[in-house]
A and B are shown apart, each in its own frame.
Chain A
Amino acid sequence: MEFAFIIEKFILIIVVFVITLVIAMYSTLAERKVAGFMQDRLGPDRAGIFGILQPLCDGGKFFFKEEIIPAGAHRPLFILGPTLAIITACIGSAVIPWGQALTIGDRVVELQVADVNVGILYIFGVVALGVYGIMLGGWASNNKFSLMGAVRAASQSISYELAMGLSIIALLMVTQSLSLKEIVAQQEGFVNWNIWAQPLGFLIFLICAFAETNRVPFDLPECETELVGGYHTEYSSMKLGLYMFSEYINMFVSSALMAAIYFGGYNFPFMYDLGLSANWITIIGVFVFFIKIIAFIFFFMWIRWTLPRFRYDQLMNLGWKMLIPLALANIALTGVFIILKDKFF
């Protein structure tokens, strides 16, 4: 491997990492702002103009809080829990294609950290790992509420991963590829976006993404009214901060994934009709991609301040009795459409 390649990837990784963290950081502010606005309030606006310094203050506060590890806790696992949660949240963004290739001089720089040919499976693996952080943390706390939160998280993520996987299968039947780069590249322009081919699949995927990131209305693992704080009841200081942060990073990564596989990623309408050079299309594409991601993050928050939390049996009913049959039907329908399309068009 040549040296320039390593440097290039290194820079890209740093940039993606920083952007992920900054967006996650400002998601915490945005969440409170959105909550405020939807409840006819202003939200935090004292730290800096429009509350722009609030995340820094929160982070500083987290660092200076006393750190308490309960006497009965399993120390190594208690520390491993939030570590694993944040690591798995961060590595998910590795396979997401942020833009087309950028040509600098005679070098072609791919705006994707790793073009894994089974990118979607990689993301699934990482998402499935994510629940270990919650499970370990909840179990190691030696607290019944934490344990219940952890058990809920585990069974919830298993239930919804099934429906999520099935909705993806229908998508793969359309795209004929597992590589995210390939999938995004296919959705050129506006009419080729996968949302038009897979509206039902997208709906199922969206619901499952809410469940996988433990967001309202599926935030039963940390349900305050029943479980004090759920899996992070015993956590304090920056460990709690890491758990919260990993939730926001998960939200960012799943928003990016949804924008990439269903909403065309960096593609935007009339991208080749404007007479722009390839580099400009790439740069605009990256911006468009981030606008889509931010729209999805806003949607996550919008849902949070609209819907109440599910009851646990309702959650399981929805997962097993509604979404899985629906996803299976979606696969069958997609197959029928593909055959019809081959036969008659």
Chain B
Amino acid sequence: MRSAGSPPPPSPRNKLRIGIPRVLNLWNTHQFWMGFLTSLGVDPRNVVFSSDTSEEQGRQFGKGRGTVDCCYPVKCISGHYGELVFGQKQKLDVLLSPMIYNLPSFLSGHVAKTLTCPRVMAAPENIKAGFIKEQDAFAEAGIKYVSPFVSLDEPRLVPKQLFAGMREAIPGLTYEETATAADAGFRALREFSDRLRKKSREVLEWCAREDRACLMVIARPYHMDPGIGHEIEVDLQAYGYPILWMQYFPIDADLMDWAFGEDIRAGHIKSAFDIRDVWPSSYSSNTNEILWGAKVAARIPWIACVIRMSSYECGMDQPTYTPVQQIVERSGTLFFSFQDLDSTKPSGSVKIRVETITHYLEKYAAAIISRKKAAAPPGCPLRPAA
């Protein structure tokens, strides 16, 4: 029997309830965290992700917690934290909000660095300040707040970082099992990405076979959040156009050789994932992928239209506006940009623009595909019979 005043014994791992805010680069690394925690013995049913972003969430749980004015994808995190701390029927034991320094991008090794945005990587420190500035809201709620700094593009370093950042939250954690769990996390993430890329290839092959247009969304991972990207691509899909997200574009060698082989032979780039020809300062992971997405969209005939999404005050997107548009439009591909997305869905203007986009697609998609096919090298692997 424990004496009065002594801390309660830690929950066994399978009982541990861990909350994770569904924000920023969690959108493209959540499978890592699930694989990691499951491997450590945490019951996946006890891993609670906050809801999709919504204005209501911010009003109910994040009010008065903001510390600085910045882009909405960062600002909205106060609502996510608040929901996890104050809005759970069954209390959480741990709030896990990783500071992700760099990302395991498919462009790694071909670009200078794969860093996350400075606001994105530091967001947990910023949001935390709003929860401790008067009193420690986590401690008052009996929640252990952990925010491991983690370099997901440096797998050798990850176990050390996660062990240091998580040992106070996971009972009896050892370095060895952290390393094993990190491997499991990377494996889960890889398998998930491979599965989605395979799906995207199927979509592309169908488009090539049927000579039908598809659309590519070029955006940051968190634009998949309905409260941030406002499901613009869903509205477009309702018109019958398949949607591809640049993050999960197929990167099979045959397709890459066909799309970028000429550029490599001409010396513009060293590999299919090299973007120096359009973006020399390739430090930021999501920015690099956006530039690469524009390049690949410009070279695939059935991508007749690119939809660019960008949030209000996104500093990382800002220098890319002109190059991305030029890369896409120069290839004859339609380009539409939804900039300055904020908390409120601009439903009226989205509807009008979606109608405009589909009008253009109906009118020009066939001609765009035909012209891009004519300009493309022979032997497209998406059409083996051709």
> Real complex partners, A and B?
no
Which residues of A line the B interface, CB within 8 A? none
